[in-house]
Amino acid sequence: CAALPEHLIEAELFGYRPGAFTGARRDGSPGRIREAQGGTLFLDEIGDMPLGLQSRLLRVLQEHTVRRVGAVSEIPIDVRIIAATNRDLEYMMQTNCFRSDLYYRLNVIPLNLPALREHPEDIEILAKHLMKVAAQHINPDIETINVQALQKLRHYDFPGNVRELGNIIERAVNIATTNEIMPDD
């Protein structure tokens, strides 16, 4: 939800009819919601969705229908929505930056994940997994992470959470000169 400008998010999520706007594909687009028909759609960074689109998404969730950009008819849908954010949606509701009705519609089964710094015992297993994944794509010679390197990771605060850990590991895999990620890497 944060990666695209507002006018593109609308067309991406809800789809559009042929010729609905300049640059639209000749055959239109069903939109991500309809493409997820019978399945699940993951909306990352829902807290960054503009207010106008929040009301459209709320309508989709309430009515179980979607209307493409430029269309007049509603299309029935059967889609489960999973939304994630790193923003404080309760505070955003208080400051009128996030719709409370959408919040309560989405907040069926909340999963509040603590920051990585709050569970440093997970750093080693995450780092080793991320290293294996990165090594497959970047440097298959990397086999392990040095004990001192793991210790250095355990003592870091990780303001960027797991994404930051992933970037640190990817950088280390890129610059490692042996088959082991060292503290300087």
Could you give the CA distance from residue 46 to residue 8 in angstroms, rounded to a whole number? Answer: 15
4 pLDDT more than 80: yes
pLDDT digits (tens, 9 = 90+) for 70-92: 888 999 999 999 999 989 999 99
Could you give the CA distance from residue 132 to residue 148 in angstroms, rounded to a whole number? Answer: 18
> How would residue 25 be classed by pLDDT, with cut points 50, 70 and 90?
confident
Could you give the CA distance from residue 21 to residue 12 in angstroms, rounded to a whole number? Answer: 13
pLDDT digits (tens, 9 = 90+) for 124-181: 999 999 999 999 999 999 999 999 999 999 999 999 999 999 999 999 999 999 999 9
Backbone angles phi, psi at 78, to 5 degrees: -135, 90
Pairing of strands 80-83, 144-145: unpaired
> How would residue 26 be classed by pLDDT, with cut points 50, 70 and 90?
confident
Could you give the CA distance from residue 8 to residue 167 in angstroms, rounded to a whole number? Answer: 28
- For tokens 């929505």, what's the residue? 81
Could you give the CA distance from residue 129 to residue 134 in angstroms, rounded to a whole number? Answer: 9
27 pLDDT more than 80: no
Q: What tokens does 129 get?
A: 């997994």
Nearest to 82 by CA among 115, 39, 52: 39
